[in-house]
Amino acid sequence: MINQENLFNIKQELGDSVKLIAVSKKQPDEKVSSILSLGHHVLGENYVQALVDRHEKFKNQQVEWHMIGHLQTNKVKYIAPFIHLIHGVDSFKLLKTIDKEAAKNNRIIACLLQLHIAKEGTKYGLDQQGLNELLSMPDLSGLKNIRICGLMGMATFTNDPEQVRGEFKYLKSVFDELKSSHFKLNPEFKELSMGMSDDYKIAVEEGSTMVRIGTSIFGQRNY
């Protein structure tokens, strides 16, 4: 079972303007059933295989599935039929593949571009230059089956809240800059996915619109 009170409190805290993605990775199926029965249907996984398995298992529960981990181009096809949002897009090649697979499924797939904001930790994500290069690719506007809906980032794993705050502030500033320039005419560019169990409060203060929370809802993961 999951802690209903925790879930309720977190949702209360986030209010209506910040979306909660409950990260069910490495959690038992019973906990997924449990959160679904409490009425929360927005879930995130970081492995394609887990997404595919769980999508199948919980098919008749209308789960909104989020891919929050690093995605390899050769695996996009497995999630393209059902994925709601891909958070960690960090190359044009990946974006092109998502577009192709989305088209095969007659879908438009929402994506977030992942920016590398941490000092250490994850090695994934674009730097500012890579982001600008991606956005200036001449072929980008030809990708009709993807929709870039915002940015995603992960802060450094540290006990220093000011470090974390600075990284989130930076991500928000890049987001705001793009929103008023490259995406000026794209109202769907509006999501900022930042914040996990340990740092979501700071992320929300700094303008997050989506938090990805695992352990604070489900408890420690089984590895």
Cα–Cα dist 172/183, whole Å: 14
Nearest residue (CB) to ligand PLP, 153 versus 189: 153
Site string for ligand PLP, 154-193 (x = CB under 6 A): x---------------------------------------
Is 25 a residue that touches ligand PLP (CB under 6 A)? Answer: yes
Cα–Cα dist 66/68, whole Å: 6
Neighbours of 40 (CB within 10 A): 19
Is 125 a residue that touches ligand PLP (CB under 6 A)? Answer: no
Among 55, 63, 69, 153, binds ligand PLP (CB under 6 A): 69
Is 86 a residue that touches ligand PLP (CB under 6 A)? Answer: no
Is 23 a residue that touches ligand PLP (CB under 6 A)? Answer: yes
Q: How many residues bind ligand PLP (CB under 6 A)?
A: 14
> Is the four-CA dihedral 47, 12, 7, 35 of positive or negative sign?
negative
DSSP string, 51-103: HHHHHHHTGGG--EEEE-S---GGGHHHHTTT-SEEEEE--HHHHHHHHHHHH
Residue 45: helix, strand or coil by DSSP?
Answer: strand
User: Within 194-223, which residues bind ligand PLP (CB under 6 A)?
Assistant: 196-198, 212-216
Which residues of this protein are in contact with ligand PLP, per CB under 6 A?
23, 25, 46, 68-69, 154, 196-198, 212-216
